[in-house]
Amino acid sequence: MTVERSVSTVLSEGLAATLDVWRDQLGGEDDSLYWTLRMRLAQTEGGVERVLRRIPNVLAGEVLRAHRAINQYFDNIRYALLDPLTQVWGTLVNALRVAAQVDSVTTVQRETFRFEVAELVRFFRAAHQNMALCDQLHHAFRPMPAPDCQMLAALFNVHIDLALREDALLKLVRLLSAEGPLTAEESEAFRVLSASGLIDAAFRGMRRAG
């Protein structure tokens, strides 16, 4: 009998495997977001100090600042009962929203989750190196109704062009983070993404072009 893995296991192992690819194939150890996500994941397993000792000196101060700020961000009544793994993926989601300058991003989020767009692109390129893994992450997030989870499901869709560009990533995040009718700016983004093939992955059953 085949035993299905839990969603939590898929998300934890999928993130760890993506970080491994990022490190081995895309120079992840030179990126502060890589180490921040490593620290967040290690925190769910009680191994933060072990990861901290491996961070290059040139990045250590920045990564530690980000790690402490993110802990403080999640350390309030709204997030106190969250599964620690939810906070790991929440770090990625907030980094995407800040990079895309989503209107609803708060000042605290903007100060806490500042990362280079190129690092975010490398994360998703790393995920797409293993199509089976990427598809598992896509199907893990796809049933989750929250817009942020739908955004991740779209970005993990294996049919998205692997040469993911920064501008396409930001447009997609902005589009999926908004609610209500499309604005003029979003309509233009919708047109661009439609031409690229990204729109099919992102909008199937989610929003209408208006």
Which of residues 161 and 144 earns the better pLDDT score?
Answer: 144
Non-local CB neighbours of 104 within 8 Å, separated by 6+ positions? 97, 177
Say if CB 123 and CB 22 are below 8 A apart: yes
Residues near 18 by Cβ (< 8 Å), separated by ≥ 6?
Answer: 123, 126, 127, 130, 133, 137
Confidence class of residue 84 from pLDDT cuts 50, 70 and 90?
Answer: confident
CB atoms within 10 A of CB 74: 18
Quick: pLDDT tens for 176-193. 876 544 555 555 555 545
Residue 186 has what pLDDT? 52
The per-residue pLDDT of the chain, averaged, comes to 82
Dihedral sign for Cα atoms in the order 99, 105, 107, 109: negative
Does residue 6 or residue 190 have the better pLDDT? 6
pLDDT-wise least confident of 19-23, 78-82, 128-132, 163-167: 78-82
Q: 65: which 2 tokens?
A: 């600042």
Q: Which helix (H) or strand (E) holds 91?
A: helix 84-99
Q: How far apart are CA 63 and CA 95, in angstroms?
A: 14
Residues in the chain: 210
- Whether the per-residue pLDDT at 69 is higher than 90: the answer is yes
Cα gap 72→66, rounded to integer Å: 10
